[in-house]
């Protein structure tokens, strides 16, 4: 879990990992098809991870308004796990706690927070633009600004860090 990019895994309802970013592959190996609780919960040397059999299904059953955030120890340092239900999947982000705030102390603007809330609710660029009565290009600009401020590459990571940094409940 080095650098700015969190290790991101996406698990479907049965807990099977269906996608992972490069940082997750470096940390955990290629784990597509394995159960999330075995992959994340099996992180050698990690202490305090809440991963259990069927945790993905239980989290999805609580609804999109709920997510799991926990700190754990790994490699002698504090880390953070965020598991966020999004459209029938759970996005899990593993990050080092040393990154307590967005890059360079930048905070999200009120409009970026609104776009973040729409992304977390599953809105697309087009539907978010309609909700906000702006162009799709304007929404894409806000998304790109959030990527830079939060130091991530994907919309799923933006949402995960939105929860982690307290922009989302």
Q: Give residue-wise pLDDT tens across range 42-80.
A: 888 888 888 999 999 999 998 767 788 888 888 777 788
Bigger pLDDT: 77 or 25?
25
Bigger pLDDT: 140 or 148?
140
User: For residues 123 and 44, is the Cβ–Cβ distance under 8 A?
Assistant: no
pLDDT recorded at residue 103: 52
Both ends of the chain: CA-CA distance in Å?
Answer: 24
Three-state DSSP at 71 gives strand
Helix (H) or strand (E) holding 142: helix 136-150
pLDDT recorded at residue 97: 66
Rounded to whole angstroms, the Cα distance separating 157 from 17 reads 16
Contacts 24+ apart (CB under 8 A), 137-142: 139/115, 142/111, 142/112, 142/115
CATH numbers and ranges of domains, the chain: 7-96 (3.30.450.20), 103-164 (1.10.10.10)
Three-state DSSP at 51 gives coil
125-136 per-position pLDDT tens digit: 999 999 999 999
Helix (H) or strand (E) holding 118: helix 110-120
To the question of pTM greater than 0.75 for the whole model, the response is no
The bridge status of strand 68-74 relative to strand 77-86 is: antiparallel
Ramachandran bin of 145, using left for φ above 0, alpha for ψ from -120 to 50, beta for the remaining angles: alpha
Helix residue spans in the chain (DSSP H)? 22-28, 36-39, 55-62, 110-120, 125-132, 136-150, 155-164
Bigger pLDDT: 141 or 107?
141
Tell me the average pLDDT across 18-26: 91
User: For residues 13 and 107, is the Cβ–Cβ distance under 8 A?
Assistant: no
Tell me the average pLDDT across 27-44: 92
Q: Is the pLDDT of residue 100 over 60?
A: no
Q: Is the pLDDT of residue 7 over 80?
A: yes
Q: Is the pLDDT of residue 3 over 70?
A: no
What's the half-sphere exposure (Cβ side, CA atoms, 13 Å) at 37?
Answer: 13
How far from 108 is each of 91, 112, 127, CA to CA, in Å? Answer: 21, 6, 21
């Amino acid at each position: 879990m080095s650098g700015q990019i969190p290790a991101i895994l996406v698990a479907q309802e049965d807990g099977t990992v269906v996608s992972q970013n490069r940082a997750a592959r470096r940390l955990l190996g290629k784990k597509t098809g394995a159960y999330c609780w075995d992959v994340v919960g099996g992180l050698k040397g990690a202490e305090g991870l809440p991963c259990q059999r069927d945790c993905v299904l239980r989290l999805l059953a609580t609804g999109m308004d709920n997510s799991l955030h926990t700190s754990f120890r790994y490699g002698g340092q504090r880390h953070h796990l965020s598991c966020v239900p999004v459209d029938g999947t759970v996005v899990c982000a593993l990050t080092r706690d040393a990154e307590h705030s967005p890059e360079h102390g930048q905070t999200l603007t009120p409009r970026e927070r609104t776009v973040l809330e729409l992304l977390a609710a599953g809105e697309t660029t087009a539907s978010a633009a309609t909700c906000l009565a702006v162009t799709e290009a304007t929404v894409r600009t806000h998304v790109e600004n959030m990527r830079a401020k939060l130091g991530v590459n994907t919309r799923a990571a933006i949402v995960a860090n939105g929860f982690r940094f307290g922009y989302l409940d």
